[in-house]
Structure 1
């Protein structure tokens, strides 16, 4: 019950146990095509280039940024948590001239702040996190497309922590590139990175794609225009997933099965219904921790549906509480990073764990451990507050 990874849905684990098949078996390529279509529905996009990058969520981030950035490009990275800092580092490693704007953790950027930063820096790319689990904040993306268009900038966002549990319509928001991971709201294991790219992003990548289907001579291209990674060269990955079926790498078959099943479950439940499930159970968890007398962290109106941060009570060893939760109740909650390390707990309700029983069990366990650590809490305050929240939502399971 931390900020991810979470328990994978048993249906995903069963899908992963299916037998392996060859990467160019018609059944395999058909399954790849099904997976692409399912993720178009999850990202809410018509983008042809919607696919998987083999590797953890960070593999998707690196593929997108290394393929979109030509060394020397100006890139704007607005940072409101730890994972914005990660984007900054990756952009620097890609050779970008990185311009950073930072705000206090627990807040989000207002459109005028981003507009001012874009006007000042004139970037080729704006790279920012949608939901940053280090702070539990969800960055509003409305209006950013219009701001980027004024200055000819592409817009990338990391939706690892938010996709499937919070509203995100890639086409409506005008996001050029978005990458995610399975291990949070999508309800799977870490190891596959769903990603989707707009025609404008594909055109930018295509200009840098030095080897198409292995037919071009790399020597005729200036080295600074070549994507600096072979594995993360999206031009070749596009060819691998496209009609040419470039033999770029061997697809991680079991992870393909997992990613397919994650998306199938969401589409079957309904994307709107999945997001609402995360909202309802996240709201119950939020009500429950307040019912225990804990203080929540950050701007409440911008909190993600799927994770809440609470201040650790004064004089309490936060890591000891987490250890007792894990040892005595087999429930994991998270700490945080940087300026919040040792100051807040992060409690998630996401994917398969966005359920009534997990919320109530976590709150009951947390109450027991807090009492043992000398914290005065209202008796059954967390569980009762969560139940009140559920009653207000129509008592969902």
Structure 2
């Protein structure tokens, strides 16, 4: 029965992260009715703001109420019919998630994989598309399980050549790494707020091209039994989810305002403020801030004698994987950072479980003091476990990165 109190954690893992204070303040705003003109005006404004965040002219750009996984599920279950072929290139844990959601939609799912710590070359994906001829290519841009960033810029043209819809989840990467919906010819993209956008989990911005919208809407208008080269299932099969039915949600956000659900107003206010924070600082400046913070953390880790994980040419700017040194208890390090210094860093999954830490520099926490405090605290905890390293080298290396930025 006591007031809610939480410890003052500095969240330097792969997400969630500490929110921008302005986002928390926006979420304390009192509610109005869902069809109040003030509310619908803010819905329209939020759509316009996220078109700028996604760098798109797509009319169908809005919010799915739910975590980032809700956005993924809405996109996939709304466009996929039983028997539709889907290609999912997997380079980490979240590729498996896309495949599982597509399988639950009874799609014919085909996967290709590279070792964790690598990404795909466009030629690998094109070869699989030519062989499989899927309706949809579904791929993650940034996978925090491996810290890798999949290049997307060549995939849109490949998908257009073979008449494939191009969907990507950019939850872990948007805001901290470039994302160009229209330039890259992305047909659908979904994200969450809890990484570089600096908000809480609970809202999933989405943007869809006209091609993707038509593929969703045709399920509501064409007769069962029509087939084409991409499909083995009957056309017009009803979308199995009511909550995630994008055709209905488009009508809710559109001029019709057809009732589908009661908009999560508090999350709308927070989502809007995440976009305002990004755009008012400036997209290029936010990207540069994440790149500098990520480089400072990387150089600091290396200066401490620690080894980063994966192909660094394709590392996300906002998270780094770090091999746990021999003789060091990785979970004890995380415990001590959390309980002695109030700093959270991440462990990992699957083949990397117990082998690496994941340290993030995202959103509000992509700043110099957070980077330096984390490196200094990590050095102290490692030293207490007997790991030998040059004193102060991590902080010095990170400060050199920031000094170089200031001089530049």
Which residue of 2 is the match for residue 182 of structure 1?
Answer: 193
Residues 188 and 207, structure 2, Cα contact 8 Å, conserved in 1:
yes
Which residue in 1 is equivalent to 2:137? Answer: 126
State the match for 2:229 in structure 1. none
Return the TM-score normalized by structure 1.
0.96
TM-superposed deviation, 1:352: 0.4
* Aligned positions, number: 386
SS of 2:344's partner is coil
**Selected match of 1:39 from 50, 53, 57:** 50
Matches of 1:4 and 1:307 in 2, distance apart? 9
Q: Secondary structure at the match of 2:32?
A: coil
User: What residue in structure 1 maps to residue 245 of structure 2?
Assistant: 233
Deviation at 1:362, TM superposition (A): 0.2
Check the 8 A contact 2:292/2:402 in 1, yes or no.
yes
Q: CA separation of 1:395/1:54 partners in 2, compared to 1, >3 Å: closer, same or farther? A: farther
| 1:53/1:59 contact within 8 Å kept | yes
* Unpaired stretches in structure 2, ≥5 consecutive residues: 1-11, 223-233
Q: Which SS does the other structure have where 1:98 is aligned?
A: strand
Residue 404 of structure 2 corresponds to residue 392 of structure 1: yes
Residue equivalent to 1:135: 146
- Assess if the C-alpha contact under 8 Å between 1:311 and 1:343 holds in 2: yes
Contact 1:210 1:226 in 2 (8 A): no
Q: CA deviation at 1:80?
A: 0.2
In the alignment, what sits opposite 2:313? 301
Q: What per-residue deviation string (whole Å, max 9, x for no partner) do you get for residues 126-176 of structure 1?
A: 000000000000000121112112221000000000011100010000000
Q: Which runs of 4+ in 1 moved over 4 A?
A: none
1:215 corresponds in structure 2 to none
Residues of 2 paired with 1:109 and 1:395: CA distance?
36
| SS of aligned partner of 1:72 | coil
Which residue in the other structure is 1:250 paired with? 262
Partner of 1:151: 162
Counterpart of 2:363 in structure 1 is 351
Q: For residue 283 of structure 1, what is the aligned residue in structure 2?
A: 295
Partner of 2:280: 268
Matching residue of 1:333? 345
Could you give the per-residue CA deviations for residues 307-331 of structure 1, whole angstroms, max 9, x where no partner exists?
A: 0001000121111100100000000
Q: Deviation per CA, 1:210-249, whole angstroms, max 9, x where unpaired?
A: 69xxxxxxxxxx7961111000000000000000101100
Tell me what 1:28 maps to: 39
Tell me the alpha carbon deviations over residues 156-209 of structure 1, each in whole angstroms, 9 at most, x when there is no partner. 000000011100010000000000000000000000001100000000011113
Does the aligned pair in 2 maintain the 1:209–1:236 contact within 8 Å?
no
Are 1:193 and 2:204 counterparts? yes
Give the CA RMSD over aligned residues: 1.3
Kindly indicate whether the alpha-carbon contact (under 8 Å) linking 2:195 and 2:362 is maintained by their aligned counterparts in 1: yes
Kept in 2: contact 1:71–1:224 (CA 8 A): no
Q: 1:320 to 1:209 in 2, by over 3 A?
A: farther
How far apart are the structure 2 equivalents of 1:169 and 1:150?
19
Counterpart selection for 2:218 from 203, 207, 230: 207
Distance in 1 between the 2:306 and 2:138 partners?
Answer: 34
Give me the whole-angstrom Cα distance separating, in 2, the residues matched to 1:165 and 1:295: 23
How far the C-alpha of 1:381 sits from its partner, in A, is: 1.0
Q: Distance in 2 between matches of 1:51 and 1:69?
A: 20
Q: Determine if contact 2:175/2:196 at 8 Å carries over to the other structure.
A: yes
Name which of structure 1's ranges 16-25 and 223-232 shifts more when overlaid on structure 2: 223-232
Is 1:378 the counterpart of 2:390 in the alignment?
yes
Q: 1:361 aligns with which of 365, 370, 373?
A: 373
8 Å CA contact 1:187–1:352 kept in 2: the answer is: yes
The match for 1:216 is none
Deviations 1:261-300 (A, max 9, x none): 0000111001111111100111100111001100000000
Cα 1:208–1:29 shift into 2, 3 Å: same
Q: Which residue of 2 aligns with 1:217?
A: none
The match for 1:95 among 106, 111, 114 is: 106
